[in-house]
Structure formats: C-alpha cells, structure tokens
Amino acid sequence: MKNFLDTANFNEIREAASTGLLDGVTTNPSLVAKENRPFKDIIKDICGIVKGDVSAEVTATDVEGMLSEGRELAKISDNVIVKVPLIKDGLIAVQRFSAEGIRCNVTLCFSPTQALLAAKAGAYIISPFIGRLDDISQTGMELISQIITIYRNYNFDTQVLVASIRNPVHVVESAMLGADIATMPYGVWTQLIKHPLTDIGLTRFLEDWKKVQAK
C-alpha cells in the first residue's frame, strides 16, 4: 500500500519525504486555505520534492470550469493528479480529462454507487472519505471493502485511496483490505513508526550497554 500525506504544508511534506517512504501527497481547498500562499506555488513546491502523485483539486463545479482549471493544474508537473468532486459534472469532466490523458482523483466519495460510476468514467483514483462516515455513525471501512470488491469483480484499474483517515488503525485496516493508497495527516504519519515498547526497550538496551563499557 502506498502512503500519502494529506496536507499542503511544505514543512510536513519535506520532513516525511526525507524518510524516503513518502509515496505521494493529496491536497484539498481546506488544506490549501491554511497555508496563506498562492495555490499553484504550493503545488509547484510540493512537486519539487515529491516524485509520486500529487493531487490538486479544482474548485469549479461545472464541466467547462473544471476542465479549464484542471488543464492548468496538470501543466504544473507530470505528477499532478487533478482532483474532481464526485458530482454529475465531475463525472463528465473525468471522461473528458481521461480522453486527454489527464489523470483524475475523484474525491468526496461516500457510497459504492458513486465509486462504481467514477471507475466507469475513467478515474485514476477514487477517494472514499472514511473518517467523515465514522463521524455520522456509519462504518467508513465497510465502504472501502465494498469498493474493493466491486473493482475486483469488474477489473477496474481505478486505485482505491482511503481518505479522511484519522488514526493508525484506519491505516492498518486499509492495508488489510488491500487498498492501493492511504492518505493521512502528518500526525498520523508520525504515529505509524512509534511504539512505546520500542522506546522503552531501546532506552534499556542503551543503559545496559553503558554498563558493559564501564567495566
């Protein structure tokens, strides 16, 4: 499973990229709004350090507007994936982008029927939001399982990207279900590597080693 950061913050992306384990980045208008910098500059800077997929979202809600914004975003770098909302005009735009060779991440997916239509439209990535389903007392992970089954049944190439991840358990469950990508906030990314028993064990090893050297 590929691990992406869900952020537009350059420092977080640089820190994660320095591990050599960052596979890509997803952004959205809310994340970009936190940065107080021009959108295209943010995407350009991210693409300067991340060679994997970098999703940049259109804000138009009509087909022609999405096409116009998306074409401009795709020009920034070869690894820009145009993020399009899962609405009727979005699905029409995805088919047009696909015909032009522009790859799309279809976002704000909350149901298996939406995911099925996105795949039929030619989405490169589908982004089901699991945390927001959990927030309204639905089981977000169930949606991931349904989408993976449907895509396997019909050999769709569309990659399943688990979005709206809130904790490391979501990452584990995504991997166990065979999702293609998990995108997560920087805080969750840092939690993936940490375990208190690792820290306690290492401290003890190093203290014991000091005793050996003192002899």
**Residues found near ligand G3P in the complex (CB under 6 A):** 6, 26, 28, 129, 131-132, 163-164, 183
| CA–CA distance, 26 with 21 (Å, rounded to integer) | 15
Smallest separation (angstroms) from ligand G3P to the CB of 153: 26
Neighbours of 99 (CB within 10 A): 9
Smallest separation (angstroms) from ligand G3P to the CB of 38: 20
- Of 96 and 125, which has the nearer Cβ to ligand G3P? 125
**Which of the following is catalytic: 34, 44, 75, 83?**
83
- Of 3 and 183, which has the nearer Cβ to ligand G3P? 183
Q: Is 75 a catalytic residue?
A: no
| CA–CA distance, 180 with 77 (Å, rounded to integer) | 22
- Of 25 and 66, which has the nearer Cβ to ligand G3P? 25
Cα torsion angle, 112, 118, 121, 122, sign = negative
User: Do residues 55 and 61 touch, judged by C-beta distance below 8 A?
Assistant: no
Smallest separation (angstroms) from ligand G3P to the CB of 87: 16
| CA–CA distance, 130 with 152 (Å, rounded to integer) | 20
* Positions marked catalytic: 83
